[in-house]
Amino acid sequence: MVTSLLDWTSEIPTWLLGLMLLAGALAAASAGHRLRLRGDRRRKATDSGLATDNQEGYIVSGVLGLLALMLGFTLAMAVDRFDTRRVLVLQEANAIGTSYLRAQLLEEPHRARISKLLVDYTNNRIVLAQAPRGKGTQLLADNDRLLTDLWAATAAAFETIADLDFSTAFIDSVNDVINLDAARKASRLAHVPTAVLVVLSIYIVVTGGVLGYVLTGFRGQFAGAFLITLLIFSLAMIIDLERPTMGSIVESQAPMELLSKSLENRPPEVFDRWRSAQSQTRR
């Protein structure tokens, strides 16, 4: 049941999750405020905003301090994962570009075949990375097929360069493309543990109840509501960072897009300008 609930919430837009959490926190604050009024009928209410009991102030400071620490640590994890995904985009673009350039040193038909596969693979990767969740099944299948074709074409080309030192460098560049494909897929599946986000959500709701109990008067209640909103905004940003296919904060595909334009502007024929006549005759 818990797993089904978590799967269900993973499909909800981040902004809606934030509103649901805000509603829960405000409801807890309202309950805490009513509890305070019920237990404090013999003491005259004040408009000072914060109850005069210093112990209550210490409790609020402790609760907020611990929550801020938890949110900060979780945000650091989410930002680190986002930065990893961003760096992998650049690394993959560099690996594909290197393989494309080295493929120009091959004999035909291997040069044209591998060059086209790399162009198609790059364009597919760009679309796949931007596909909404659940809409990239065919794109992912095309991605895997292109990788298989790329390695098959590389194996065929290797027979013509096996005796050359260049063969190792070429194989390594293609292998880097395949490895980075796996790395990017793994980076998108890596998330802050769901249990951590659940605990943070519960803690925010409880914090709302504590603030509703301690803070009195219009100014205190307004300050508490504003603070809870900021905390939920922080958690919503963390959740958004953890959703590479649903969130609004996604890694830029600019390196791959620039590579795609570069490959379109540099077909294999461009590199034939200074080849010897004998070499072009063989091709």
pLDDT tens digit string along 42-79? 555 444 444 445 566 677 777 788 888 888 888 888 89
Q: What is the pLDDT of residue 54?
A: 58
Tell me the domain boundaries of the chain.
15-36+53-267
Tell me the pLDDT of the chain averaged across its residues: 84
pLDDT tens digit string along 86-123? 999 999 999 999 999 999 999 999 999 999 999 999 99
Cβ–Cβ under 8 Å, residues 48 and 162: no
Q: What is the pLDDT of residue 40?
A: 61
Cβ–Cβ under 8 Å, residues 224 and 211: yes
Q: What is the pLDDT of residue 98?
A: 97
Best CA proximity match to 96, nearest among 251, 275, 244, 257: 257
Q: What is the pLDDT of residue 65?
A: 81
Q: What is the pLDDT of residue 11?
A: 67
- In the structure, what pLDDT confidence band is assigned to residue 10 with cuts at 50, 70 and 90? low
C-alpha torsion sign, points 142, 147, 150, 155: negative
Identify the weakest region by mean pLDDT among 94-108, 149-163, 199-213: 199-213
Best CA proximity match to 212, nearest among 51, 20, 17: 51
pLDDT tens digit string along 191-201? 877 788 888 88
What is this structure's pTM?
0.80
Q: What is the pLDDT of residue 5?
A: 44
Q: What is the pLDDT of residue 248?
A: 78
